[in-house]
Each structure stands twice: as structure tokens, then as C-alpha cells.
Amino acid sequence: MREAAAALSQMESQSIVHHTPCGDGHMVWHEWGAGKPLILLHGGSGSWTHWVRNIPILKQRYRVICADTPGLGSSAMPPGVFSSKHYPESMRMLAGVFAEGLDEIIGVATHYHLCGFSMGSIAGAYLAAAQPDRVQSFTLVGASSFGIPWKGLDRRLEAMTDAMGEAERMEAQRRNLRIIMTHGEADEFAGYVQLKNVERARIRSHGLPYSDTIMQALPQVRAPLAGIWGRHDVYAQPNLDEAIPGILRTCDPDAFYAVVEDAGHWVMYETPDAFNARLTDAIEASTCR
């Protein structure tokens, strides 16, 4: 755990940290690299560390800016109530906080590429719909909430208790990652990342896969669309080969679509080289349209 903490601390120390308005406090962003801005939005119960294996490569090509979503990571709670009973309204609220922050960080006229993972792809759809003249491409990673049936989780997640020590809590999170995030066994670094993210999570998004929240915004997105999923993404079963690409191409007939083999939901962590290549391909393809 010390090695994992040190590695994350070192990566964070190499970033530029931004603080923008968020409720009664600040939203926290981390920035690396230079070039065209690439905005990365993490998944539920996460933080910028969802992208820890991608930043070192992506920053060589782009100005990578990673959000900590309001109510998650190091960011303050959002300005209003985040409710599972009103997910579309909650996503519009998050998108408004994102937009205000980006106006301050990159300027009100700067174009950018947008990529969201899981819950971040859903909030990202609302952001892309709200800023049609600025988002040059929008890539969804492991997205759900299309309003189509999915098979559900194989088993219940393991709860942490106050009686557990940190090592036991981390092992519990490694087992949970195997249920919801990874195709193979999660390594210790992934377990540490997950533990620290879950400990700071103050908003809950577990009901999103059962909803059609993304479809309240995705048809309004004018930017070129792309989608990347791991073949074994639990939230995309059994819809990867027909339903999901069909939905994307209904919204954008030329949408870029890729499925990465040997990966689950957290595709960019499990297969970073393959993911980085496909994301770069998707962005490059959008510039030719």
C-alpha cells in the first residue's frame, strides 16, 4: 500500500491542480501535458485515479485535464441534491459545474475533446449537449443507462466494516473489483485505488445502469461520437455486438466503435495500451469529419 500511495502522490505532484467553484467549496481538477485539451471524466465512486495508467501516455499528445466529480474524490459536494430518483436533473447539475470549471481553466472559447468513463460518460453526454460548439469529439467508455436490459451483477458487493483493518478493506475492494470492474483478478494497486476512492465517495450512482439517463442527452450531442468497451464489461452484457453500437449509430451514423478483448468495465486500466490506441484513433477520426 505504501508503494501505491507513493506512486499516486508522485503522479499528482507532477500535475497542475485547479480549483473551481462547486457548491460551498471547490471542484478539483488535475492537469498534465500540452496540446489540444482532452477532458477526462471518471466513473462512479471514483476520482482522477481511474485514469492512472493512461495519463503518462495521453499527456504526450494532449493537454490532459482530469476532473474529480462533485461529491467524489477531492471535490466538494455539488450545489444541489444528487438524487437517484432524478438522475437526469442530477446529471444536468454536474454538467453545469463541469462547464463553469472548464470556462475558468481553458477559457470560454476553447474547443476540447471529451472522454467519460461509466458515470462520467453519462454526465459527459449532458456536458457535450450543453456545449455543442466547443466539444470536438465525445468518447464514451463503458457507458450504460441506455434504457436496455442487462444481465445484472453476478453477486452482491462485499461491505466493509469498522472492524476491518486497512489491508482487509483493500482486499474486500479487490474482490468487489472482480464483480463490477475487471475481467481478471484485480492487482493490489487497483485495490488500493478503489479503496481510497470508495472511502471518499459521498454520492451514489449504483442505479444508473437500470435507467435511460444517458438517452435524455445523447441524441442532442452534435460532436462526433465514439464508444469503447471491454468485451467482458458486466454493465454491457449482452448488448455489445448489436444494441449498443446500434444506439450510438442512431445518434451518429459515423460513430467510432471499439471492443477491447480481455478487459472488463475498467478497460483503460486493464488494457491501457489497447485503450490509449483506440482513444487516440477515435479522436483522430473525429478531426477528419
Give pLDDT, residue 1: 73
Query: Among the residues of the chain, which ranges form H helices?
Result: 2-13, 55-58, 87-106, 119-130, 166-180, 188-200, 243-251, 267-270, 272-287
Give pLDDT, residue 84: 87
Instruction: Please state the φ and ψ torsions of residue 219, each to the nearest 5 degrees.
Output: -65, -15
Give pLDDT, residue 176: 96
Nine-digit cell string for 176: 468487489
Nine-digit cell string for 164: 476491518
Q: Tens of pLDDT along 239-252?
A: 999 999 999 999 99
Give pLDDT, residue 99: 98
Q: Other CB atoms closer than 10 Å to residue 233's CB: what's the count?
A: 28
Give pLDDT, residue 31: 98
Query: Which residues is 112 bridged to in the sheet?
Result: 135
Question: Quick one: which of 38, 35, 30 has its CA closest to 13?
Answer: 30
Residues of the chain with pLDDT under 70: none
Give pLDDT, residue 215: 98
Q: Answer whether 101's CB lies under 8 Å from 29's CB.
A: yes
Q: How far is CA 79 from the centre of its chain?
A: 20
DSSP 156-185: PPPPP-TT--HHHHHHHHHHHHHHHT-SSP
What region, left, alpha or beta, does residue 278 occupy, with left being phi > 0 and alpha being psi -120 to 50 degrees? alpha
CATH architecture of 15-151+205-287: 3-Layer(aba) Sandwich (3.40)
